[in-house]
Amino acid sequence: MAVSGLKNRIEKNLAPSLIIRLSEVDAPMRLAARAKRARGQRGSVELFFAFDDASSAYALISLAELVNQRDVDLIPRPVVDRGIPDDPAVDRKRSYAIDDAVRLFARGGTELVRRTPIDPEATAWLAQWVADAPQSAALTDFTVEAVRLLWLTDGQQPDRERFERLWSEKLGGSPPAVGDGLASNELRMARLRMYETPAAWVTGRWFFAHERVAQIGEWLDRLGWEER
Amino acid sequence: MSSETIEFFFSFRSPYSYLAAPRAFQLPENYEVDIRFRGVMPMAMRGQSVPSQKRIHTMFDTKREANRLGMPFGPVFDPIGDGAVRCLRVSELAVGQQLEKQFVLAVSRAIWAEGVDVSSDEGLRPICIAAGLDWHACLQAISDPLIEARVEKNVEDLLELGQWGVPVFRFRDQLLWGQDRIEDLERLLDAAGLRR
């Protein structure tokens, strides 16, 4: 076989077929999960999401319900910069995400109230608050509630004072000063080879979170973090 | 013939299109609708970049989805280039003979579950014949500029609808992107009173 023919076969046949086979190797992850449980630690679902993204809203709310009955924490990791560089379809995707989220929420009988895209900068301060605060159940609770306010309650421009009141109610005090949390989340997302929100990282695997909620549940089951 | 039509935008290079096809072609069995197959050129052949992490994630994710659907996935032979072009043009021939369901299901399974190189005659020929197509007519279709123009029109129409990836379903004024949105499409069809 000529060199070009061999290269063609590797790129089109052998490499992708090998990746598919490797995708079924899960023993190391299951072992890691078992070791974690043996140390008395809980599982985690890290959700890389954007407050301005309708798909993220669906993912966050759905995953919060999914982990509720398991020994698993939902860790919100907000980002602002994401997506494929120079993607020509970015505006169309943002608009389509709303139409799609309307149908996703409708599956569970919930209405998506906001029907217009949010500019990423309009909620960047909210992302910064969550990214710069220490992880806690109260922070996750605040994040879910903030997303509900943004997408399920009204279609108004995000009102900073309203969210400051919610912060005080859920976590006490004022939101944190600007730190490096957002940059750190965006860097971690890139290192995990995720390129778009919402993406969930669950013990060695990542999923597009808004359309793979059931699969994330199955993966948690397989790792031993089943519903109580 | 039904009065309602669902347009089904499909790429032979998209494993998600492969996963969608059996359920898409099944829709007329359950609903008063026709499926209009619209084959489009792969994104990577339309000048759109596909990062390596997306390609790898797609293989992982498609395998999980294929397992859930009980469909085989792997070994594969990526049809990008000649393979995709040949399949698209033969699929247009098949549409004209109402054999698109047979051809599309067979060739996408060959690409995504049997590792068949459809850019070669020895790979494509038996699939065309098994689907009921005449091989010489297929060879003519592959080099027919009129058929090439029909494929280009499919791409233009997809872009005009504001869509970029596949599979995409168009029902009335609703667009649904993704093999995992067929359940939402069925909900729309139920709401429209089209269940048989």
User: Which CATH architecture does the domain made up of A43-223 adopt?
Assistant: 3-Layer(aba) Sandwich (3.40)
Q: What is the pLDDT of residues B2-51, one digit of tens each?
A: 789 999 999 999 999 999 999 999 999 999 999 999 999 988 787 777 77
pLDDT score for A1: 59
pLDDT over 70 (residue B53): yes
Question: What type of residue is A172?
Answer: G
Residue B28's CATH number? 3.40.30.10
**B196 lies in some domain:** no
pTM given for the model: 0.92
d(CA A186, CA A79): 6
Instruction: Please count the structural domains in chain B.
Output: 1
Do B158 and B168 touch, CB atoms closer than 8 A?
yes
- Chain A residues whose CB is inside 8 A of the B64 CB are 23, 212, 215
CB spacing of B61 vs A21 below 8 angstroms: no
Q: Does A121 touch chain B (CB under 8 A)?
A: no
Buried residues in B141-178 as b, exposed as e (16+ CB within 10 A): bbeeeebbebbeebbeebeeeebbbbbbbbbeeebbbb
Q: What is the number of other CB atoms lying within 10 angstroms of the CB of residue A85? A: 8
- Chain B residues whose CB is inside 8 A of the A11 CB are 78
| Residues of chain A scoring pLDDT < 50 | none
Do B72 and B113 touch, CB atoms closer than 8 A?
yes
Portion of chain B with pLDDT greater than 70, in percent: 99
Closest C-alpha among A209, A50, A44 to residue B57: A209
Q: How far is B28 from chain A (nearest CA, A)?
A: 22
pLDDT-derived band of residue B104, with 50, 70 and 90 as boundaries?
very high
pLDDT score for B190: 97
Helix (H, G, I), strand (E, B) or coil at B192: coil
Chain B contacts in chain A segment 129-188 (CB below 8 A): none
Q: How far is A93 from chain B (nearest CA, A)?
A: 8
- Domain containing residue B105: 4-191
